[in-house]
Amino acid sequence: MFKKIFFCLLVLYTCNLVYGERNCNDCQIYYSCKAAFDHARLRQNDETKKLFQKALCGTEIDDGESVIKVCCSDFPSLDTRPTPTPPIKNIENRWAGMSKETLLPDRCGSILGNRIFGGRKAKLYEFPWMVLISYTTREGPQFQCGGTIINSKYVLTAAHCVVDKKIAGVRIGEFDINSDRDCEYEPDKVICEDHIQDMYVTDIIPHENYQRSPTANDIALLRVDGEIFLNYTNVEPICLPLTSELRSKRLDHKNGTVAGWGYTETGRESAILLRVEVPVKSDAECKGYYNRNNRDAVKKQFCAGELKKDSCNGDSGGPLMMKANYNDVNSYVQYGIVSHGPMQCGSSFPGVYTDVREYVDWILNNIKE
């Protein structure tokens, strides 16, 4: 993803070393400038290259990487509203004989934005694939689970979030639930976003062999009514472990990132999107915590978390993500779905996650154009 962008930025960075740096009052990392970020993401052409070349004003080390800075005022705002797509005739013929993998995006899981490792509050635009699931309750619509965008029509979540539930819809592009306009305040600049997509759900697809206790096959898909507009800065699919290399990746003792608003069945919640880093346990360690005598205790699941760090800091149905190489780009790949855990959040018992690697074929078999 963003091969052209990073190639362009590499060239521009070289130009910057040759021609020197500009002085301006709004010099900032390019992805902190919404107009520059929109150009780099949505308009990869010669005009954008010239804009970046003119606007270069330095570099800054962010999370160990050298990132270019630009004069933000040099970039005109882009109209990022989507253009309606005309209906495609003969859909069946179009996809006949083609792999279902073509229904999933080549561009996903981008690692862009000013990251905070070990912190709890996420950054605006950091996890643009996050989805809130709304339910019809006696108290009115309430958010109680999360999910992730995997393409323009499907949301991935947990089966326990959809079975025997009255789903009112999904919300896409949210950051702070209590605010219509989400803003981040940095020195000398303010970044704001107000685009939200509230959508109805047409199809609810839990795994056909889902069972509540003991929990097994806790995975589901939601098909939205219409299409999710993906050409907004705060909306993007997450990558799935499609390739054999990604599916065979060992997760033991590696850290994963869990994100969500903390909405769970216990009522814990946060208005602002949260993130937490959790260590993945080995199968042997997981069995030591859960059902020691049940050899299938962690089949197609894995455990992650430690004292005061677990998936209570995220949503049921939300993702556990790791950085990996996806189409030659370092991207976020979803390896887990928040399933269940100990009664006391943040205890020494780890949380349990549905292992997405085990269900890639199920996902591909259940999505359609």
Termini Cα distance of the chain: 22
What is the phi/psi pair of residue 206, to 5°?
-75, 160
Residue with tokens 């970046």: 52
Lowest mean pLDDT among 46-55, 163-172, 310-319: 310-319
Rounded CA-CA distance 291/86 in Å is 53
Beta-carbon contacts of 313 under 8 Å, excluding residues fewer than 6 positions away, are 120, 258, 260, 262, 274, 275, 276
Q: Output 268 or 33, whichever has higher pLDDT.
A: 33
pTM: 0.73
Answer yes or no: is 112 within a domain. no
- What was the pLDDT predicted at 84? 41
pLDDT above 70 covers what percent of the chain?
75
What is the DSSP annotation of 238-278?
PB---SHHHHT---TT-EEEEEE----TT----SB-EEEEE
Find the CATH number of the domain harbouring 181.
2.40.10.10
How many other CB atoms are found less than 10 A from the CB of residue 21? 13
Q: Which residues are catalytic?
A: 160, 218, 316
Whether residue 162 is found in the same domain as residue 30: no
Cα 261 from Cα 276, distance rounded (Å): 11
Domain termination residue (choose one: 74, 90, 110)? 74
Domain closes at, from 35, 55, 74: 74
CB 130 within 8 A of CB 273: yes
Residues 28 and 158 in one domain: no
More confident residue, 362 or 9: 362
Q: Do both 178 and 288 map to the same domain?
A: yes
**In the predicted structure, residue 332 carries a pLDDT above the cut 90:** yes
Q: What secondary structure letter does DSSP report for 309?
A: B
Q: Is the pLDDT of residue 127 over 90?
A: yes
pLDDT digits (tens, 9 = 90+) for 267-286: 557 788 888 888 898 888 88
**Local structure of residue 272 (DSSP, 8 states):** B
Report the run of H or E that residue 19 belongs to, with start and end.
Answer: helix 3-19
Q: Rounded to the nearest 5°, which phi and psi values hold at 97? A: 75, 0
Name the domain boundary from 74, 93, 116: 74
Per-residue pLDDT at 162 exceeds 80: yes
145 found inside a domain: yes
Domain that holds residue 24: 3-74
Nearest to 273 by CA among 134, 125, 70, 169: 125
User: Which pLDDT value is given to residue 146?
Assistant: 93
Q: Is the pLDDT of residue 365 over 90?
A: yes
Residues 6 or more apart whose CB falls under 8 angstroms from that of 47 comprise none
Q: Are residues 24 and 156 in the same domain?
A: no
pLDDT reading at 12 higher than 80? no
What does the pLDDT average to over 82-104? 53
Q: What is the pLDDT of residue 221?
A: 98
Residue range 22-40: average pLDDT? 78
